Amino acid sequence: MRFAITMFSLLAIASIIGTVLKQNEPYNNYIIKFGQFWFDIFEKLGMYNVYQAFWFLLILVFLIISTSLCISRNTPKILKDYKSFQDRVREKSLLSFKHSYQFPLKKFSVKKTISFLKSHNYKVKHKVIEGKGDLIVAKKGDLQKFGYIFTHLAIVIISIGGLLDGNLVFKVQELIGTKQIQLADQPLSKIPLKGRMTEDNLSYRASILLSEGDTKTAAILRAKEGYLVQEIPFSITLKNFNIKHYSTGQPKSFESELLVTDKKTGETINKTISVNKPLTYKGVTIYQAAFEDGGSQLDLLVWDLNSSQPSFKMNSEIFKNNKLFFENQNLTLEFKDFRKFNILELIQDEEQKPKPTNVGPNFLYKVRNESGQAKEYQTYQLPMVVDGKYFFLSGMRNSPQEEFKYLKIPADDNLSIEGFMVLKSLLNNPQKVQNAINKGINTSAFTTTGKKEAFRLGAENIINAFVGGGYNSVVDAMDLNIPDQSSIGDKEKAIKTYINIIYLVSQELVRGYQFEHKSDIVFPIDDSPRFIQDALTAYSDSFFYGVPLYLELKEFKEVQASGLQLTKSPGQFWVYLGSILLVLGIFCMIYIQEIRLWIFRKKGSGSLIVALATNRDRMDFDQYAIEFKDKIKKSLLIDEVKNATKYKR
């Protein structure tokens, strides 16, 4: 018993771990969550696939053996006790019971007493004890004894179900070397036999990602840090994928219209599945698990944030790569995901309370250099409201462990990114900058040529520093030009002066552009100063944006993919059966109370002994014993009075 309790405790701990810690995730997710040190420890303990870990299956084996021994040892005793009426009791023993009563009764009818007890759902046995009297033994609630058998059988059956679904076949095959987890990313046709599980695999939980019109004949079985190919007895074609959204853009429901074709017979089945409405075919259950991008097509404009070069077009597709030569190196753009709807908590009204808001499409991609290092980007197509103004957001991070750091580019009067791109191009045009500085000098209060020339050179140096590295570069240049003995106040004044010069030059650039393009309103008319300040801040922040390339999403063609989970679970039936037995067993043990009753009439005696006993002596049974004794007494005395009245007549 102690051993079984220990196994139960370990099983409970393992179940808690398996519930709290999400199972069968890609190993990179666990590394990000726990770090390399704890990841290695948890991996060795099998925490990422608890229910198929060797030690978990070993616990189930020991639990089956231990519980089976308990059943085999105690079941014969329970069955014997179930059949027994315990009619070998003595008068003295009955009088010693806690609930033992004795009252006078002149005439005793065995037949009527038995009839009374049966009317109260008792099983009754009458025994005549030679030379001593009549003994009536009754019992009810003896099904309570089966609670022990049901619960222990349930434990064994559920554990067997767990073993059947425990992937034991693969573990043995991996141990002897006939199967090997695959790590390389390669086409399914090139996966060797060692990396393939046959259709006869006893149990598995595999996945398939299907784009509309695609057909798959095998599934992917995630295993540790790699995968295996799971052969299935049929092919699956996704004919159509439908997804419905709430008004906020959040997914409401999604379903897949499938064509399933038997590989051997060619038999086909058309079936639409959705969440909680799976299809079971050839012993394999197909669940609607998720949905993902299936290779959406993107039409992009690529902008160099730190030059006056015009943008150029790029066509790409999710899950495919684009090559690009930039800043004397070959870059690879790896497009990872596209989402048409994105729900963020944004403040949209005067109440200043964030509300779920659909901010429109975004896409995720990586820029990888020649040495293999990559930075990850997330860019939104439409501008968002931040502090009452519209900004285009594009986030960058160096690794998945980091949060995205967003570059905020102000939207122009047409809610487009064109205004910012025009200004950054003007700043990177030396001739335009020089003209703007000269216009500023001509309208200034400088009276001598020397002062004008000194201001012009200083302004050019400041603009060149800003264009080459943002505000940080300006501060570095200031540190070189200001004496070390200068006070903090003097340095702050110098910084404000430099920033003001950058703003004034930018303002003059904007005015010049607007004068040359009178019919083309790009920059905000009502709030031009705020726009210029935000644009200069965004330009300065672009030097912390990693690779200074901004990908503007112009058009897209969404292609959706359905994520299916294929499950073969022979242990499922046994787990359900065991669960039913467990419920029955607990019900029997808790809600059914076994009661035994003895009525003894000693030969030649004018009294009757009534004794009651139960396997659980509770307060409510004390009350029941008294009330039932009174019922017996009342029933027998009434019969005695009736007989006496009849005799007088």
Rounded Cα gap, residues 121 and 114, in angstroms? 11
Going by pLDDT thresholds of 50, 70 and 90, the confidence category of residue 648 is: very low
Q: Write the secondary structure of 376-403 as one string of H (helix), E (strand) and C (coil).
A: EEEEECCCEEECCEEEEEEEEECCCCCC
Look at residue 169 in the predicted model and tell me its pLDDT. Answer: 82
With a cut of 90, say whether residue 474 has pLDDT above it.
no
Look at residue 484 in the predicted model and tell me its pLDDT. Answer: 58
Look at residue 647 in the predicted model and tell me its pLDDT. Answer: 34
3-class SS of residue 297: strand
Q: Which helix (H) or strand (E) holds 34?
A: helix 27-44
Beta bridge partners of 304: 549
With a cut of 60, say whether residue 641 has pLDDT above it.
no
* DSSP string computed for 448-476: SHHHHHHHHHHHHHHHHHHHHHHHHHHHH
Rounded Cα gap, residues 383 and 344, in angstroms? 13
- 493 to each of 288, 490, 499, 501, how far by Cα in Å? 64, 5, 10, 12
Rounded Cα gap, residues 184 and 276, in angstroms? 34
Look at residue 441 in the predicted model and tell me its pLDDT. Answer: 78
Q: What is the pLDDT of residues 282-336, one digit of tens each?
A: 999 999 998 889 899 999 999 999 999 999 999 999 999 999 999 889 999 999 9
Crossing angle between the packed helical segments 488-516 and 418-427, to the nearest 10 degrees:
110
- 509 to each of 171, 432, 440, 495, 609, how far by Cα in Å? 70, 7, 10, 21, 114
- Please give the model's pTM, rounded to 2 decimal places: 0.70
Which residue would you say has higher pLDDT here, 588 or 643?
588
Look at residue 153 in the predicted model and tell me its pLDDT. Answer: 94
Amino acid at 207: S
Question: How large is the average pLDDT for residues 505-532?
Answer: 84
3-class SS of residue 110: helix
Average pLDDT over the chain reads 87
Is residue 273 within 8 Å of 279, Cβ to Cβ? yes
Look at residue 264 in the predicted model and tell me its pLDDT. Answer: 92
With a cut of 60, say whether residue 649 has pLDDT above it.
no
3-class SS of residue 52: helix
Structure tokens at 223: 């295993």
**Looking at the domain that runs over 85-141+593-648, which CATH code has it been given?**
3.30.310.10
Look at residue 644 in the predicted model and tell me its pLDDT. Answer: 42
Is residue 321 within 8 Å of 304, Cβ to Cβ? no
Domain ranges of the chain: 1-84+142-165, 85-141+593-648, 175-294+559-569, 314-409, 423-552
Look at residue 22 in the predicted model and tell me its pLDDT. Answer: 85
Question: How large is the average pLDDT for residues 51-59?
Answer: 86
With a cut of 70, say whether residue 505 has pLDDT above it.
yes
Going by pLDDT thresholds of 50, 70 and 90, the confidence category of residue 378 is: very high
Nearest to 399 by CA among 354, 368, 422: 368
Amino acid at 167: N
Look at residue 342 in the predicted model and tell me its pLDDT. Answer: 87
Residue with tokens 């409510």: 620
Look at residue 445 in the predicted model and tell me its pLDDT. Answer: 60
Q: What is the pLDDT of residues 232-275, one digit of tens each?
A: 999 999 999 988 877 766 788 889 999 999 999 999 999 999 98
Going by pLDDT thresholds of 50, 70 and 90, the confidence category of residue 57 is: confident
Q: Write the secondary structure of 75-108 as one string of H (helix), E (strand) and C (coil).
A: HHHHHHHHHCCCCCCCHHHHHCCCEEEEEECCCC
Question: How large is the average pLDDT for residues 50-78?
Answer: 89
Lowest mean pLDDT among 133-147, 472-486, 554-568: 472-486
DSSP code for 269: E
| Most confident residue range from 8-17, 411-420, 491-500 | 411-420
Q: What is the pLDDT of residues 445-462, one digit of tens each?
A: 666 677 778 888 888 889
Is residue 155 within 8 Å of 164, Cβ to Cβ? no
Look at residue 224 in the predicted model and tell me its pLDDT. Answer: 82
Which phi-psi region, left, alpha or beta, contains residue 157 (left: φ > 0; alpha: ψ -120 to 50)?
alpha
